[in-house]
Amino acid sequence: MVPDSGLDSDHNRTLALVLALDQALEDVKTTRNYELQLQRVEQQCNVSLLLKSLFELKWAGLDSQLLLGGACPTVTSSLTPALPRLHMVQVSFLAPPPPLSSRRWSGHMVSTVPSDWWMNRAVVKLLQTLDWSRVGVVSQSSSPRISQSVSDLLLQLHQAQIQVLSSVRFSVNSCGDLRQLKERDVRIVIVQLETESELFCCVHRLRLGSQVQWVVLGDLSLDWTRSQCSTQTLLSAAEGSISVRAQGLRPDQGPGVSGRTAEEYERLYLQRLSSSGLKVAPLHGFVYDAVWLTALALDRVLDRAETRTHSGPDIELDPGPDPGLDSEVMAERLLQAVKATRFNGVTGAVWFRGGERMATLELTQLQGNSSVSVGEFNTSEDELKLSLHLLHFPGGAPPSDKTLVRTVIRHVTLELYVVMATASIFVMLLSVLCLRLRSGPREVLVSLGLVLCCVSVLVSGLDQVSVSDQTQTVLCTVQLWSLVLGHSVVFSGLFTEAWSLYSATYRLHKSPLQIPGHFLFWCLLVDVFVLSCWSLMEPLRRVETQQPSEGGAVVSGVCSCSHSELWITAVCGYKGPLLSGLSALALFSALVLAAYTSHDALLRFSLSSAFVLNGALTVLAATYGPKFFSDGSEAAEDDEEEKRTNRELKTRCLRLEMEIDRLRRELFHLESNYGRPHRSSQERPQEKPQERPQERPQERPQKRDEDPGLFHVERALFPSLSGRVPASGRVPASGRVLPILHHSYLPAVGGKKSSLSSALHVTFCLFCGVWRLPRVPRCLPRTRHRMLSLLRPLCSTLLSVPHHGPSLSLVSRVTMATLNQMHRAGKPKAPPPSLGATFGRPQLKAVVLKTIIRKPKKPNSANRKCARVRLSNGKEGVAFIPGEGHTLQEHNVVLLQGGKTQDLPGVRLTVVRGKYDCGHVVKKKN
């Protein structure tokens, strides 16, 4: 019985297992001198079909007691409990699911592959060894075997007191479900999937590879053909992941029960695969050992132990009747023989304990492009041996299973404190020195207030690094009092100064507000009352505040209390109206200053201009200062680029003049070699004069040779040829004769295509007089010179197009097909049809990069919902989302089809509703 679900991938894997089965049967026949005849049982993951095949074999007289092979989990879970009733023993080469690890349900089934229960046990041991207690689980929702294994894994994690933060059921179109891992801060994730390609492709899109440590159950499969990411991208996303798998072929070089080493068997198996064109099956070694286990068990039951040469020691079987008489007894003796058989297979030592295969599980880590063995788990001893020095992690040590909160206490640096202290002392000295200019009571108040404010700056820079905690409490109080009192003193001085100016202007009577000490007394009285209450009820202390940061949590110490906001409001609340009054007085002082300086126009102009220019210069310096320095370097680069361009243009002009000279010489040589020879008047035959109709003088066209204006045009356009023009000042007409163009020479009707440079040279000849030009009147010399000045840059522009073909003559460049050639060539072929927006496919799969809004053409006005997508072939475009309402967002997968939207220019793709992540249109209920 081989696992075959009817799919192409499972069928190819089954054929690869059959090749290993054939190799084992051939080795048994060669070594044991007898042949095992196998009858295949059809099941195709269907219990009914399996039972039908078994009863057909019994009806045909083939009453077998031993079933070799395995099936899908649904068939295995139904067949295993029925084996005792069928009097059969099953030797499987597939991993039994965890529910069958109980001997109650799997007493008649033996597998050469360790069960999934041991795989989960190895993962739990790994988590405990690396001290990981918070994990997440990602599994496949469409596999029954994986669902059973994940249920057992969750049970073992719960018993080991390991917290499972998130359990995600992954599918191909559910990349968004992995965001739960990031939202719940999961750093260790256990993965159990049939193929991990789509998972790590989603990990690369969500940028989770460097933040999460992945533990994979089974072989790590990164097949880029099953995902939309490249192999290098998958390897980068899976870097550092740890895989737990059953050990394949044993590493030692000793011969096994068949007399072959593991390498010899692998070489023979690969030869069979190369001839059939199949891929390597992961379980081919266990299939080989299962056949040998069956042969040795039958050998013991049928009393052929004397012919065995490579098996293990003899075993004692329970005595019983003749096995040919009772199938139930035969099945029991077969089961005892299978469980008691021990031998060296290609996968290592094959022996059983309680029906469970005792083997070694291998732990590997993906490092770069290769897997490195970092440990092993022995199922017989339930022990994990991990080589920590072989493990490679980004930080050098195993990552943490949660986000570490790193506390950083930020102090005032010594350099910053020295700078601020120096500036404060400078302001204090400057305030004292200014008293020498004018030492009135108001000036003394302002200077004293500034000194107190500077003292608060000196005190605030001292933190717990330089002083103790008790001293810090005193410094917080000193800082508060000096700052508040200094502000009040400065405010009192400025207010009394402004009020005195106001009173002097309006000639008011002397009031208490004009006395500096009177106003200062009331301000200090209120401040002292509030500060005293604050210091007695809730004194300031050093409090550490925590702010979030990218590298962790930053803690800084400030002077604060539990209700500091209310106390600050009380201190500054009464000064609000006073500050408003001071602002009004300051505005009035500016008006008074303008009035007092009105008698001196020079002084008024100087002061007002100084204030305006000072503000303008400040704004200009802040706005255009950085641009000025950057524009200077750009201007120098532009000048250098302009000089370089001028040199290139001059070089191109010289080359064009040389090309024109060469073309003129080629035309002259062509006409002299292939043109009709000129005859003199004496050599011409005497012809009869023919009567011509009388023409009117004004209708007779003037010959081109008789027009001197054309000669000036040619001399203006060909200065290098002026020395070779005949003395008559005319160029022979034969040098300007070209074939007559016909509309049939055009490429659109089958004519021969010419290059762009050839067409430009022909156009140049049209303008330069090689073909016939219109007559230039002699009476308009200014117009003639103006036309010459216009033709020269036009010809230079036409010839500035670079010519990438070989240097050919003008005649060879403009050669076109004749009518006979076009007739023989036939009708030109139609151009190939365009691929369209979907590149020749009816539909394409795409990933949403961004949802956008597009405005339609008039008269429509409603905005259209669109999305910028990346197609499966790597191209990007904009697709229209039909219908009302959608839930599409970044990284969602959609299905696209072609089709233009009439009112959206340039949008040629449409999203198919109801496919992948784009749901159907929800109908609104009335």
Which CATH number goes with the domain that contains 167? 3.40.50.2300
**Which residue in 238, 259, 207 sits closest to 891, CA to CA?**
207
Residue 167: closest CA among 145, 144, 141: 141
Based on the domain organization, do 374 and 463 belong to the same domain? no
- The residue among 823, 855, 870 that closes a domain is 823
Most confident of 521-535, 538-552, 570-584: 521-535
- Name which of 269, 350, 260, 298 is nearest 34 in CA terms: 298
HSE value, Cβ hemisphere, 13 Å, CA-based, for 920: 3
Other beta carbons within 10 Å of 628:
10
Report d(CA 135, CA 909) in Å as an integer: 42
Residue 764 binned pLDDT confidence (cut-offs 50, 70, 90): very low
Return d(Cα 840, Cα 843) in angstroms, integer. 9
777-833 confidence digits (pLDDT tens): 443 444 444 444 544 554 554 444 444 444 444 334 446 788 888 888 888 888 877
**Of 823, 857, 889, which residue is a domain's last?**
823
Does residue 794 fall inside a structural domain? Answer: yes
Residue 455 belongs to some domain of the structure: yes
pLDDT digits (tens, 9 = 90+) for 614-673: 544 554 454 445 545 555 556 667 777 788 888 888 888 888 888 888 888 888 877 666
Residue 73 one-letter amino acid: P
Residue 819 shares a structural domain with residue 878? no
**Residue 191: inside a domain, yes or no?**
yes
| Residue type at position 229 | C
Q: What are phi and psi of 68, to 5 degrees?
A: -105, 130
Q: Are 552 and 406 in contact (CB under 8 A)?
A: yes
DSSP line for 550-565: TTEEEEEEEEE-TTHH
Rg (CA), the chain: 49
Q: What is the pLDDT of residues 214-254, one digit of tens each?
A: 899 888 777 666 677 888 888 888 888 899 988 878 877 77
- What is d(CA 434, CA 859) in angstroms, rounded to the nearest whole number? 73
pLDDT attached to residue 29:
76
Query: Would you list the DSSP string of 573-594?
Result: HTHHHHHHHHHHHHHHHHHHHH
Last residue of one domain, picked from the residues 590, 611, 631:
590
- Percentage of residues of the chain with pLDDT beyond 90: 7
- Mean per-residue pLDDT over the chain, rounded: 71
Per the structure, the complete domain to which residue 879 belongs is given by: 843-911
Q: pLDDT digits over 304-336, tens only?
A: 444 443 444 444 444 444 444 467 788 888 888
Task: Name residue 540's amino acid.
Answer: L
Res. 740 pLDDT band, cuts 50 70 90: very low
Residues 162 and 266 in one domain: yes
pLDDT band at residue 466 under the 50/70/90 scheme: low
Helix H or strand E encompassing 494 = helix 469-506
CATH code for the domain of 903: 2.40.50.140
CA–chain centroid gap for 599, Å, is 73
Higher-confidence residue of 707 and 391: namely 391
Q: Give the pLDDT band of residue 772 (cuts 50, 70, 90).
A: very low
Q: Is the separation of the CB atoms in 438 and 497 below 8 Å? A: no
Judge whether residue 483 has pLDDT over 70: yes
Which one has a higher pLDDT value, 854 or 499?
854
Distance CA 718, CA 713 (A): 8
Q: Between the CA of residue 546 and those of 405, 556, 692, 784, what are the distances in Å? A: 11, 7, 113, 86
Q: 806 with 759, same domain?
A: yes
Using CA atoms, how far apart are residues 120 and 106, in angstroms rounded to an integer?
A: 19
pLDDT at residue 790 in the model: 47
Q: Are both 108 and 205 inside the same structural domain?
A: yes
Query: Using N-to-C axis directions, what is the helix angle for 781-799 and 601-674, rounded to 10°?
Result: 80
Find out whether 424 and 458 touch, Cβ atoms under 8 Å: yes
Pairing of strands 134-140, 188-192: parallel
Residue 724 confidence class, pLDDT cut points 50, 70, 90: very low
For residues 15 and 124, state if they share a domain: yes
Q: pLDDT, tens digit, for every residue of 875-894?
A: 999 999 998 888 899 989 99
Q: How far is it, in rounded angstroms, from Cα 485 to Cα 481?
A: 6
Instruction: For residue range 831-867, list pLDDT tens digits in order.
Output: 877 777 788 788 999 999 999 999 999 888 888 999 9
Measured CA to CA, the distance from residue 85 to residue 328 in angstroms comes to 9
Residue 77 covered by a domain: yes
How many CA atoms, within 13 angstroms, populate the side-chain half-sphere of residue 413?
3
Helix H segments across 675-734? 708-717
Pair (85, 157) in one structural domain: yes
What is the torsion angle, in degrees rounded to the nearest 10, for the CA atoms of residue 711, residue 716, residue 721 and residue 722? 70
Report CA-CA distances (Å) from 483 to 530, 571, 606: 14, 11, 37
What pLDDT is attached to residue 93?
83
Beta carbons of 495 and 519 less than 8 angstroms apart: yes
Is 358 in the same domain as 482? no
- Alpha-helical (H) ranges within 261-392 are 262-276, 284-301, 327-340
C-beta atoms surrounding 23 within 10 Å? 21
Q: Are 215 and 126 in contact (CB under 8 A)?
A: yes
Confidence of residue 393 (pLDDT cuts 50, 70, 90): confident
- Is 117 in contact with 101 (CB distance < 8 Å)? yes
More confident residue, 597 or 210: 210
pLDDT of residue 580: 64
Match 């404060």 to its residue by tokens: 424
pLDDT tens for each residue of 402-453: 877 666 666 677 787 788 788 888 878 877 777 776 666 767 777 777 787 7
pLDDT more than 70, % of the chain = 62
DSSP result, 446-471? HHHHHHHHHHHHHHHT--TTTS-HHH
Cα separation values, 127 from 147, 230, 361, 404, Å? 21, 31, 15, 18
Helix (H) or strand (E) holding 229: none
Instruction: List the single range of 12-21, 129-138, 297-306, 642-651 with lowest mean pLDDT.
Output: 297-306
Half-sphere exposure of 65 (CA within 13 A, CB side): 21
156 and 305 assigned to the same domain: yes
Joined together, the tokens standing for residue 151 give 């249920």
CB atoms within 10 A of CB 499: 20
Q: Is residue 188 part of a domain?
A: yes
Give Cβ neighbours of residue 282 (< 8 Å, ≥ 6 apart).
219, 248
8 Å CB contact between 208 and 199: no
**What's the distance, Cα to Cα, between the start and end of the chain in Å?**
59
Residue 463's pLDDT is 63
- The reply to whether 349 and 265 lie within a common domain is yes
Q: How far apart are CA 76 and CA 867, in angstroms?
A: 47
Residue 682, pLDDT > 80, answer no
Contacts for 554 with CB less than 8 Å, ≥ 6 apart? 408, 410, 546, 547, 548
Same domain for 383 and 487? no
Angle between helices 516-537 and 441-460 (to 10 degrees): 20
Question: What is the tally of structural domains in the chain?
Answer: 4
- The answer to whether 819 touches 744, Cβ cutoff 8 Å, is yes
Joined tokens for residue 523? 């301000």
Specify the DSSP element, H or E, that contains 407: strand 407-410
Q: What is the pLDDT of residues 340-392, one digit of tens each?
A: 888 888 888 888 887 788 888 889 998 888 888 899 998 888 889 988 888 88
User: Quick check: helix, strand or coil at residue 631?
Assistant: helix
Adjacent-strand bridge partners of 90: 67, 109
Q: Would residue 694 count as lying in a domain?
A: no
Q: Residue 442, Cβ neighbours under 10 Å: how many? A: 18
DSSP letter for 238, please: T
Task: State the pLDDT at residue 587.
Answer: 53
> Which 8-state DSSP code applies to residue 916?
T
- 43-95 per-position pLDDT tens digit: 767 888 888 888 887 777 666 778 888 777 778 777 888 888 888 888 888 88
pLDDT of residue 809: 41
Average pLDDT, integer, range 679-685: 42
Q: What pLDDT is attached to residue 626? A: 53
d(CA 725, CA 234): 75
- Cα-Cα-Cα-Cα dihedral sign, residues 378, 379, 384, 390: positive
User: Is residue 348 located within the same domain as residue 482?
Assistant: no
Assigned domain for 202 exists: yes
SS3 349: strand
Best CA proximity match to 455, nearest among 477, 439, 470, 437: 477
In a domain, 622, yes or no: no
Q: How many CA atoms lie within 13 A of 60 on its CB side?
A: 9
The residues facing 245 across adjacent strands are 362
**Position 212 pLDDT exceeds 50:** yes
CA-to-CA distance for 132 and 134, rounded, in angstroms? 6
Amino acid 696 reads R
Does residue 700 carry a pLDDT above 60? no
CA distances to 32, 331, 742 from 311, in Å: 11, 21, 97
pTM beyond 0.85: no
* Contact by Cβ (8 Å): 511, 534: no
Handedness of CA 806, 812, 816, 821 (dihedral sign): negative
Contact 315, 338 (CB under 8 A): no
